[in-house]
Amino acid sequence: MNSFSPTEDTIAAIATAVSPGQGSIAVIRISGSSSIEISKTITHIPGIQNWSTHKVLYGHVTEANQKKYIDEVLILIMKGPRSFTGEDVVEIHCHGGIIAVQKILERILENPNIRRADPGEFSQRAVLNGRLSLTQAESISELISARSRKAAELAMNGIEGNIQTKIQSIRQRLLDQLTEIEARIDFEEDLPHLEEEKVKNEIILIRTDINELIDNAKRGLWVRSGLKIALIGKPNVGKSSLMNRLSKKEKAIVTDLPGTTRDLLESEIVLEGIPVTFIDTAGIRETENEIEQIGISRTQEALKRTDLIILIFDYSKGWTKEDESILKKMPTSIPVLFVGNKSDLKDNHSFEKDTKNILGEENLVIISAKTGKGENDLLNSLVKSCGSSKIYGLDIALNERQLDLAKSAKESLKNIDKVFEEKLPWDFWTIDLREAINYLGELTGDDLTESLLDNIFSKFCIGK
């Protein structure tokens, strides 16, 4: 665990969403050594009720002059270490909305021994006091922001400690290798010979495990934040019509004039549990028209955050040179699915064969946005292209911070190949191993500086 200790300040914040007319109750959380004392000074508790731990008290929060009540409340007392933060925690359950809850918080903050909590500060204290691991705290934050059931399931797995256990076991395997090597450096004559080949093979296995986590993280990111698919193609090929059909909403303007979809329009559907956003783009082509130019440069911008491109062409006219030149402008890093639209205008199977020969059977779907023919084929191809069928078995998904560190660890271990091939001495192995171990330690929070921890928790919201 980390060696630094949390501050002594007692902190308070509203822990529930605050909105007028919403939520019949709200919760204010207080944590720190003065939390119980402060709660006593602002409340009136009738009859004989003890301020003992893990009990609920009934009473009122009073104005400073003790004459008027601000709200009727329930008070939950959890003495440390049996609390979320590990410190003495009091939760005041009051009525929802905004006024009462804010007045109570102000009343609490009148006391000089308490201050408003910083974003994520309760979770940070929970981590510092060993109540939660860093990845568990991050998973709680992800559960709160989950937009799909699968995202919530992944977050819950993280809260259960799956990420922590997995990374710690990989890190331990690296530590075992490092220990073996260091023992050879210090006491070579006294120990049996250590084969480089064996160490290298174990490191390759570890690298494969890290790689799997990196691949899964990508799918996890789709589950959490959804996929973006850009609809690209010449003007008038049916981009807006297709998007309307897929989203079943009349959001884009459909017209016969080329180049009328000048803005980016977005529409969301949920495909096999993944939220998918379609971006309908202005037709990409050389143009003098200023407004259209703006749309086109936005298309280029939008492509930077796109996971898949659907390149639509007019199937009744076939794959043209213009379509080919649009394809050439697409970034090669993004997968492309070809969609031949307006099949209702053409019923010539040999034509389909020709197009398949040019574009490849795998990546081509023939549809009619007008009649809906081929729509299911398109959805099936999307599921396949997006890898959304692979999310079912997914149980661990690193967040972006964790993913960056896993990638760095993998990079460090890559150097081992060179060290092995060039038959470099054991000291060289230890440099890369140590580096990878440190990255994984930063991921789990076992090896973190205080400022890094502050940085992570500052991204949480107030009251967490």
Is there a contact between 259 and 292 (Cβ–Cβ < 8 Å)?
Answer: yes
SS3 435: helix
- Residue 449: CB atoms within 10 Å: 11
448 contacts ligand GDP (rule: CB under 6 A): no
Spatial CA neighbour of 104 closest among 38, 20, 48, 57: 38
Which of 107, 131, 150, 239 lies at the binding interface for ligand GDP (CB under 6 A)? Answer: 239
CA distance 459 to 119: 7
User: b/e for 32-56, b at 16 or more Cβ within 10 A?
Assistant: bebbbebbeebbebeeeeebeeeee
Verify binding: residue 247, ligand GDP, rule CB under 6 A: no
**What totals of helices (H) and strands (E) does the chain contain, helices first?**
15, 13
**x/- map, 215-234, ligand GDP, by CB under 6 A:** ------------------x-
Q: Identify whether the C-beta of residue 1 lies closer than 8 Å to the C-beta of residue 22.
A: no
Nearer of residues 236 and 267 to ligand GDP, judged by Cβ: 236
Rounded Cα distance, 293 and 103, in Å: 53
Q: How near is the Cβ of 87 to ligand GDP at its closest, in Å?
A: 59
Nearer to ligand GDP, 67 or 349 (CB): 349
Direct distance between the N- and C-terminal alpha carbons of the chain, in angstroms, rounded to an integer:
21
- As a whole number of angstroms, the distance between CA 20 and CA 337 comes to 46
Q: Which of 9, 268, 272, 344 binds ligand GDP (CB under 6 A)?
A: 344
Number of residues interacting with ligand GDP: please give it, by CB under 6 A: 20
Q: Which of residues 244 and 402 has its CB atom nearest to ligand GDP in the complex? A: 244
Residue of minimal Cβ distance to ligand GDP = 238
Q: Quick one: which H or E segment has residue 230?
A: strand 227-233
Place of tokens 């510092």: 128
Please, which residue, 228 or 342, has the CB nearer to ligand GDP? 342
**Closer to ligand GDP by Cβ: residue 172 or 255:** 255
462 contributes a contact to ligand GDP by CB under 6 A: no
| Alpha-carbon gap, residue 415 to 423, rounded angstroms | 12
* 236 lies in the binding site for ligand GDP (CB under 6 A): yes
Closest approach, Cβ 229 to ligand GDP, in A, equals: 15
Give the shortest CB-232-to-ligand GDP separation in angstroms.
Answer: 9
59, β-bridge pairs: 73
Contact status, residue 281 vs residue 232, Cβ threshold 8 Å: yes
Helix (H) or strand (E) holding 141: helix 134-145
Q: Shortest approach of ligand GDP to residue 260 CB, angstroms?
A: 6
Tell me the closest approach of the beta carbon of residue 251 to ligand GDP, in angstroms.
Answer: 12
Nearer to ligand GDP, 256 or 422 (CB): 256
Which residues touch 164 (CB under 8 Å, ≥6 apart)? 133, 134, 135, 136, 444
φ, ψ of residue 36 in degrees (nearest 5) = -70, -45
Q: Which helix (H) or strand (E) holds 312?
A: strand 308-314
254 binds ligand GDP (CB under 6 A): yes
- Contact between 299 and ligand GDP by CB under 6 A: the answer reads no
Tell me: does residue 342 bind ligand GDP (CB under 6 A). Answer: yes
Residue 141 near ligand GDP by CB under 6 A: no
Which of 56, 205, 270, 345: binder of ligand GDP (CB under 6 A)?
A: 345
Which among 249-257, 357-365, 383-391, 443-451 is the span making contact with ligand GDP, rule CB under 6 A?
249-257
How many other C-beta atoms lie within 10 A of the C-beta of residue 167? 27
Binding window for ligand GDP (CB under 6 A); candidates: 20-28, 193-201, 365-373, 395-403 = 365-373
Note whether 261 binds ligand GDP by CB under 6 A: yes
369 binds ligand GDP (CB under 6 A): yes
Least distance to ligand GDP from the beta carbon of 257, Å? 8
Minimum CB distance to ligand GDP, residue 245 (Å) = 9
Rounded distance, CA 230 to CA 251, Å? 15
Helices marked H in 226-318 — which ranges?
Answer: 239-247, 290-303
Stretch that binds ligand GDP, among 75-83, 119-127, 364-372, 389-397 (CB under 6 A): 364-372
Closest distance to ligand GDP from the beta carbon of 132 (Å): 50
- The closest alpha carbon to 11, from 124, 100, 178, belongs to 124
Footprint on this chain of ligand GDP (rule: CB under 6 A): 233, 235-241, 254-256, 261, 283, 341-342, 344-345, 368-370
